[in-house]
Amino acid sequence: MNISVLGAGAWGTAMAIAFAAKNPVLMWGRNQAAMAAMQSARQNEEYLPGFDFPDGLQVTADFSAAIAPMALPDSLLVIATSVSGLRPTLEACRPYQPNNVIWLCKGFEESTQLLPHQVAEEILGDGVAFGALSGPSFAQEVAKGLPCALTVASTSSELSRQVVQALHGNAMRVYSSDDVVGVEVGGAVKNIMAIATGVADGLGMGLNARAALITRGLAEISRLGVALGGRAETLMGLTGVGDLILTCTGDLSRNRKVGLALAQGKSLAVIVQELGHVAEGVRCAQAVRNLARHLGVNMPITDAVAGVLFDGISLQDMVGRLLSRDAKQENH
């Protein structure tokens, strides 16, 4: 299978390396000088240094060269942009009529509050098989070949089969699901919970508080997922509780780092600049808060995080609001 990966950041590079273990892969990035440097050095020294490219992985800044072969039946287009980059990337791909498309981003489109598959439906229509590849995974560990389990979510069983065939093997396990909504909601909202957990850890609130935030965060994710048409059992799997635990506790988590930095008193602008990578939870928090209010879904942790990020609420007020909430049945 011929595979093209659009996006040469850390996660796109890691997945390109993983796919190239079994398939020829062409990774595209818009910066011609950067792609030439990668091709020469045979690694992504800016975003994922220290991991050599396998022989099956080539890089290019020529968009047509990367996308034109994706019209063939035995092909897979992997979009490795942020959520904000998904729409323009799909629009650029549409004239080439790609057959099979998956994306790696996790979040809601900020301006529309749409999930990635809803954006794809608007742009690609019914004639293209598409879906999401998600799950608990850090780029460095995937590139290193450490054990990892992911889920491909699509209403096309054939696309899911192709992704599993292209990626599953050795230390990588790939499961399939037809619950695209559940998989995407889990991947999106866990980033917000990781910011909250980072704040709690940074303030020294203890392991008990971390466990409570993760557990109540899962309840919020499940409420929203079900309200949008996802299945509760999906949120108990890899792309729900699995990704939530990793992102809230792993030191490689960008969203957790945002929370830790907030607890140090740093401004959001400084944090984003220092991070140097996209932390999707920041962009997602506002969209999820607005969507939850529209749907009447109770999401107090999300409200608190968005309040700190966008409304000027202090961390002390955020913690106070969460601790002062009325007692209720645990499953509410």
The full set of domain ranges for the chain reads 2-178, 188-323
Share of the chain above pLDDT 90, in %: 90
pLDDT over 90 (residue 324): no
CA distance 25 to 168: 15
Give Cα separations from 10 to 45, 188, 268, 272 (angstroms). 10, 18, 22, 16
Residue 55 burial (10 A CB sphere; 0-12, 13-18, 19+): exposed
* Residue 327: predicted pLDDT: 65
Within the chain, strands assigned E span 2-6, 25-28, 57-60, 75-79, 100-103, 129-134, 148-154, 172-177
> What is the CB neighbour count within 10 angstroms for residue 276?
10
> What are the residues whose beta carbons fall under 8 Å from the beta carbon of 272, sequence distance 6 or more?
279, 282
Whole-number average pLDDT of the chain? 95
- Strands 2-6 and 100-103 come out as unpaired
* Residue 326: predicted pLDDT: 67
pLDDT over 80 (residue 276): no
CA distance 313 to 275: 22
Q: What is the pLDDT of residues 95-150, one digit of tens each?
A: 999 999 999 999 999 999 999 999 999 999 988 999 999 999 999 999 999 999 99
Collapse the DSSP code of 57 into the 3-class scheme (helix H, G, I; strand E, B; otherwise coil) and give the result: strand
Residues in the chain: 332
CA distance 94 to 101: 11
Burial per residue of 303-322, b for 16 or more beta-carbon CB atoms within 10 angstroms, e otherwise: bbbbbbbeeebebeebbeeb
Q: What is the pLDDT of residues 280-303, one digit of tens each?
A: 899 899 999 999 999 999 999 999
Confidence at 332, pLDDT banded by 50, 70, 90 = low
CA distance 25 to 65: 12
Where residue 145 falls (left for φ over 0; alpha for ψ -120 to 50; beta otherwise) is left
On whether the 188-323 domain is CATH 1.10.1040.10, my answer is yes
Share of the chain above pLDDT 70, in %: 98
Contact 207, 97 (CB under 8 A): no
Stretch (H or E) spanning 315: helix 315-323
* Residue 82: predicted pLDDT: 94
- Residues marked active site are found at 190
Where residue 98 falls (left for φ over 0; alpha for ψ -120 to 50; beta otherwise) is beta
* Residue 278: predicted pLDDT: 67
Q: What is the pLDDT of residues 200-248, one digit of tens each?
A: 999 999 999 999 999 999 999 999 999 999 999 999 999 999 999 999 9
Confidence at 331, pLDDT banded by 50, 70, 90 = low
CA distance 105 to 134: 8
Task: Give domain 2-178's CATH architecture.
Answer: 3-Layer(aba) Sandwich (3.40)
* Residue 318: predicted pLDDT: 86
- Read off the pTM: 0.95
Confidence at 270, pLDDT banded by 50, 70, 90 = very high
Q: What is the pLDDT of residues 40-88, one digit of tens each?
A: 999 999 999 999 999 999 999 999 999 999 999 899 999 999 999 999 9
CA distance 191 to 43: 28
- Matching fold, domains 2-178 and 188-323: no
User: What is the mean predicted confidence (pLDDT) over 302-316?
Assistant: 94
Collapse the DSSP code of 150 into the 3-class scheme (helix H, G, I; strand E, B; otherwise coil) and give the result: strand
